[in-house]
Amino acid sequence: MNEKIKHLLLSCVPPVVMRLLRSKMPPKGVYWSGDYGSWEEARQASKGYDDALILDRIKTAALKVKKGEAVAERDGFLFDEIQYAWPVLAGLMWIAAQSQGELNLLDFGGSLGTSYFHNRSFLQALPKVRWSIVEQKPFVEVGKKYFEDHELFFYYDLETCIKEQSPNTILISSVLPYLQNPYGLLDEVVSNNFEFIILDRTPLLQSGKDRLTVQVVPPEIYSSSYPSWFFSKTNFYNIFKEKYNLIARFESIGKANLEAIFEGCILKRKKL
């Protein structure tokens, strides 16, 4: 297993703590502060989280969705209707249209299949779907035991997933801000030559440099705090400039108390 990728994955904050922003306004009491010089400095200023409790809550909610007892789940919370990320769904169907109607995707940090289940009713129209999730070890173990089937798969690392499934597409949604070395992951993604890349819910600063903050979550949601990146928009898109064409860029759901825009994009590898 690639140790670099293993470290990147293990540095992820669990999904329920990662994807708290679901509307145009931040949840009451959630805020970002500071401009830290290192991940360790930001971590020392954070409280952390109880990952076992998070996983149990997500598992319970996700099983209800899988069994048809609930409509939608995100981060362990159940919803009466699906909050579609329409640009992402459009991108998935556009990619499938260029691949004989098939979708073979790697969902990095995809929890127990939140995005898969959100889009399942549309994916059922495709002749073949392989949706592979790369996650932290506890999530993969639960995923393999309770959720894996002929379409949904779980892996501990990128390397094994790529070797076994050969995905041509990678989805990274609301994950990069919570990695210790997000640019390291993006370098690995680009070097693996995915034909398509979909990024969503990434906070971008319109000017200046990257900023490392601490995100604080109030007790009514989940009492915790943890490091969180805001990226320079210029630096972020320059990573893909040489090897990828920007097909679309869109504003994502989410808003912070800092001057940033949550964005997503769809990229296609250049024919060199």
CATH code: domain of residue 122: 3.40.50
Residue 180, domain member (yes or no): no
Residue 186, domain member (yes or no): no
Predicted confidence at residue 19, as pLDDT, reads 45
Predicted confidence at residue 221, as pLDDT, reads 67
Mean pLDDT for the chain overall: 88
Answer yes or no: is pLDDT of 29 > 90.
Answer: no
First to last CA, the chain: 29
Predicted confidence at residue 182, as pLDDT, reads 97
Residue 23, domain member (yes or no): no
Query: What are the tokens at 170?
Result: 């990678």
Residue range of the domain that includes 154: 3-16+29-174+194-269
- The residue with greater pLDDT, 12 or 204, is 204
Total number of domains constituting the chain: 1
Predicted confidence at residue 224, as pLDDT, reads 82
Predicted confidence at residue 4, as pLDDT, reads 54
Which residues make beta-bridge pairs with 169?
105, 196
Residue 182, domain member (yes or no): no
For the purposes of burial, counting CB atoms within 10 Å of the CB of 134, is it exposed (0-12), middle (13-18) or buried (19 or more)?
buried
Answer yes or no: is pLDDT of 28 > 70.
Answer: no
Residue 189, domain member (yes or no): no
Residue 183, domain member (yes or no): no
How far is 73 from 57, CA to CA, in rounded Å?
A: 11
Residue 184, domain member (yes or no): no
Tokens 């409509």, residue? 71
Answer yes or no: is pLDDT of 51 > 90.
Answer: no
- The residue with greater pLDDT, 13 or 271, is 271
pLDDT of 213-260, one tens digit each? 999 887 776 778 899 999 999 999 999 999 999 999 999 987 788 889
How far is 220 from 236, CA to CA, in rounded Å?
A: 33
- The residue with greater pLDDT, 53 or 6, is 53
Of the candidate ranges 61-65, 204-208, 217-221, the one whose mean pLDDT is the lowest: 217-221
Residue 207, domain member (yes or no): yes
pLDDT of 110-167, one tens digit each? 999 999 999 999 999 999 999 999 999 999 999 999 999 999 999 999 999 999 999 9
- The residue with greater pLDDT, 186 or 54, is 186
Answer yes or no: is pLDDT of 109 > 80.
Answer: yes
